[in-house]
Amino acid sequence: MDASSEEKAEFEGEEIEYLSYGGEHHLPLIMSLVDQELSEPYSIFTYRYFVYLWPQLSFLAFHKGKCVGTVVCKMGEHRNTFRGYIAMLVVIKPYRGRGIATELVTRSIRMMMESGCEEVTLEAEVTNKGALALYGRLGFIRAKRLFHYYLNGVDAFRLKLLFPRQELHFSGPMMTNTDASHEHTDLDNT
């Protein structure tokens, strides 16, 4: 057992560099991270499907040139809603608990919002307390429970984040907003 991989990495927050997916050279980094940490085996075509069609939604986190985290997403029309979907989120173990995953996801969600998504969704195991807390802090609710969603028999939550829709909004204080939330042109007001 490699002792060094078990230890927590020492670093300052500013040392982490976040990059948007930049091309084929990033693909093996993403693949090796996801293969290492997540239980689902994906073919290279699965990765290419996401990063070729939505390169602006995938981000990588680097520390001193080493890739330590990644998020892979997509977005599209789903039953009359323009919706973002978070497919994979990984941060290697020594770098967890320091907000890197939150930052990766936040960047992706912001991009989805700016692109006109009305909501964002993903599935997470009901036992994955870390993920549930992370997404809960970002405003996701547990919209549904999916019985035995995973083949090992574990249930999943479908998590959903609904972006505010200007015309319905109760006049209360808005949380920290980006410029995008004031643009009406891209949002589909049905």
Footprint of another protein on this chain (CB under 8 A)? Answer: 41-46, 48-49, 53, 106, 109, 113, 126, 136-139, 141-149, 151-153, 155, 157, 160-164, 168-170, 172, 174-176
Question: At which residue do the structure tokens 């999943």 appear?
Answer: 156
Nearer Cβ to another protein, position 48 or 64?
A: 48
Nearer Cβ to another protein, position 38 or 146?
A: 146
Task: Output the smallest distance, CB 67 to another protein, in A.
Answer: 22
72: part of which helix (H) or strand (E)? strand 66-78
Q: Report the distance separating Cα 104 and Cα 59, nearest Å.
A: 6
Nearer Cβ to another protein, position 15 or 35?
A: 35
Nearer Cβ to another protein, position 13 or 41?
A: 41
Task: Output the smallest distance, CB 5 to another protein, in A.
Answer: 25
SS3 142: strand
Q: Report the distance separating Cα 61 and Cα 151, nearest Å.
A: 30
Task: Output the smallest distance, CB 15 to another protein, in A.
Answer: 23
> Using an 8 Å Cβ cutoff, are 146 and 158 in contact?
yes
> Which amino acid type is present at position 65?
G
> Which amino acid type is present at position 165?
R
Q: Report the distance separating Cα 115 and Cα 109, nearest Å.
A: 10
The total of other beta-carbon atoms located within 10 Å of residue 141's CB is 13
Task: Output the smallest distance, CB 3 to another protein, in A.
Answer: 27
Nearer Cβ to another protein, position 63 or 98?
A: 98
Task: Output the smallest distance, CB 177 to another protein, in A.
Answer: 9
Strand bridging mode 141-146 / 156-162:
antiparallel
